[in-house]
Amino acid sequence: MSERVHIFDTTLRDGEQSPGATMNHNEKVRLARQLERLGVDVIEAGFPAASKGDFEAVQAIARSLEKPIVAGLCRSLPADIERAWEAIKDARRPRIHTFLATSPIHMEFKLGKTPEQVLEMARAAVRTARNFTDDVEFSAEDASRSDREFLARVAEAVIEEGATVVNIPDTVGYAQPQEFGDLIRYLRENVPNADKATFSVHCHNDLGLALANTLAAIDNGARQAEVTLSGIGERAGNCALEQLVMSLNVRRDLHDFETGVDSEQIHPSCRLLSLIIGQGISAYQPIIGRNAFAHESGIHQDGMLKHRQTYEIMTPESIGRAGTDIVLGKHSGRNAIGSKLSELGFSLDEEQKQQVFDAVKTLADKKKRIYDEDMEAIVLEEVYRLKGKYRLRALSVQTGTSGGVPPTAAVVMDVDGEERKLSGFGMGPVDAIYNTICEMVGYRPTQEQFNISAITGGTDAQGEVVVRLAHNGQSAVGRGSDGDIIVACAKAYLNAFNRLGMKEERKWAQL
């Protein structure tokens, strides 16, 4: 029988630390529930000691999930460990995950500790964590650049203290596959009590080797892999969950292992993450990119028509992508739209489905065909959009190249439920809108990012706008989509304002 590899998902912790991937409380809980549906074994919900908001999100996730282990990350400090336990103690299966650097460069320059001091700190951290729970994971940060003999001593010590999982991270993506696989084999052969714990790996992608290193580690005895959806994470990211799972599924002849992941939930999970953080999936992203199952070359098309496996090593259905193309338009009924929503991985109640149905009908009057990406944008816009202080009600813009009148925007919006109207000028239509909104809101944040893209092809495509605003030491990403790109700009700007406002409120609440 195939051996089991446990999938430890850290999208909500390491993934969220990557630039532009910050999620609010409700978004984290929604993604955690999707990860449970995906079938991961462990969800690292966050770093409870990092902030009050992170603590509350981890606590909410711990209380809302039924099946997976919920882990809270903490430094090897008593206060951090206690804070992590407070956040996860209501989970049905809680785990404390504590870490400490073991490489010479980290011990000397970051910790200012000797190896013997680090060894004792590691022991004490696991001992403290075991006072709260039997499920304790210890990570030796920067393990791939650590002295092997010292790393083996640390692993032996933490297992003696009761660690059930020992994680060997390639923290800076430095290792090479053969080297990293050999390190795992060395530890399993030279740590006397290695059989009393599960060895885990957490590989970063700085040299593009995160997947290769993870597979090499599994082939040499690691039985837990720490991954993220779409590979998001610090710097160049982590090993991508979808790449690891499908590599094990497709190449069972080389890697005779199984996971508990429902592969048909892979695409819906990655799409949900993309929608939440406002970052698109590259068309060339393995497994989940738009072009991963696209064939334009005549030779490839001919081969596909004769036998699908000539150019596809897996089916789109195996990762939850549609095998058939349902064309949606103004003549589509509720059943067709409901079927498409289910196909895309959305589980909505009747009221939410009606919201989407009405929005589809409105959009279908403006464009001939509704694509999957249009549907996803509508769901995010109509169902999951942050309900904040500011809401756009109406917008009118005047612009042109003659007449001497500068571009003008007239904005009607709700502020805490109160309707406000104002018009203003700018260098262009978007600038005029943003100037007017800032005047109505009462302050002007710094705009750090502004991106416009088409959700689908064609001149009638919906536009998607992502903006990043910063104010008083806080920053927030806003996203908006609409058939009118100017309206999408206004929606994105107000979405960012709403997120900034929520961050400001949390900041003052902590003072």
CATH assignment at residue 440 = 3.30.160.270
- Pair 197, 312 in one domain: no
Strands (E), 404-444: 408-415, 418-425
Last residue of a domain, one of 382, 403, 420: 382
* Residue 453 near residue 463, CB atoms below 8 Å: yes
- Can you list the alpha helix ranges (DSSP code H) found in 89-194? 104-105, 115-130, 148-160, 177-190
Q: Which residues contact 411 (CB under 8 A, 6 or more apart)?
A: 392, 394, 395, 421, 422, 423, 424, 433, 436, 437, 440, 490
Q: Looking up tokens 């999100």, which residue turns up?
A: 57
Q: Work out the average pLDDT over 425-431.
A: 92
- Pair 256, 308 in one domain: no
Q: How confident is the model at residue 505 (pLDDT cuts 50, 70, 90)?
A: low
Q: How confident is the model at residue 387 (pLDDT cuts 50, 70, 90)?
A: low
For residue 348, with 0-12 CB atoms within 10 Å meaning exposed, 13-18 middle and 19 or more buried, which class applies?
A: middle
Residue 219 in this model has a pLDDT that exceeds 50: yes
Q: Work out the average pLDDT over 417-424.
A: 92
Say how many residues make up the chain.
Answer: 511
- Pair 451, 492 in one domain: yes
Cα–Cα dist 118/106, whole Å: 11
Residue 326 in this model has a pLDDT that exceeds 50: no
- Can you list the alpha helix ranges (DSSP code H) found in 8-114? 25-38, 52-64, 78-88, 104-105
Q: How confident is the model at residue 325 (pLDDT cuts 50, 70, 90)?
A: very low
**Residue 423: its pLDDT value, please?**
94
Cα–Cα dist 151/119, whole Å: 9
Specify if 287 maps to a domain: no
* Residue 439 near residue 424, CB atoms below 8 Å: yes
What's the structural domain count of the chain? 3
Least confident among 162-166, 243-247, 507-511 = 507-511
Specify if 331 maps to a domain: yes
User: From the CB of residue 252, how many other CB atoms can be counted at a distance below 10 Å?
Assistant: 12
Q: How confident is the model at residue 402 (pLDDT cuts 50, 70, 90)?
A: low
Q: Work out the average pLDDT over 252-268.
A: 95
319: DSSP letter: G
**Residue 373: its pLDDT value, please?**
64
- Pair 34, 171 in one domain: yes
Q: Work out the average pLDDT over 55-66.
A: 97
- Pair 375, 396 in one domain: no
Nearest to 288 by CA among 242, 334, 351: 242
**Residue 296: its pLDDT value, please?**
41
- Pair 112, 254 in one domain: yes
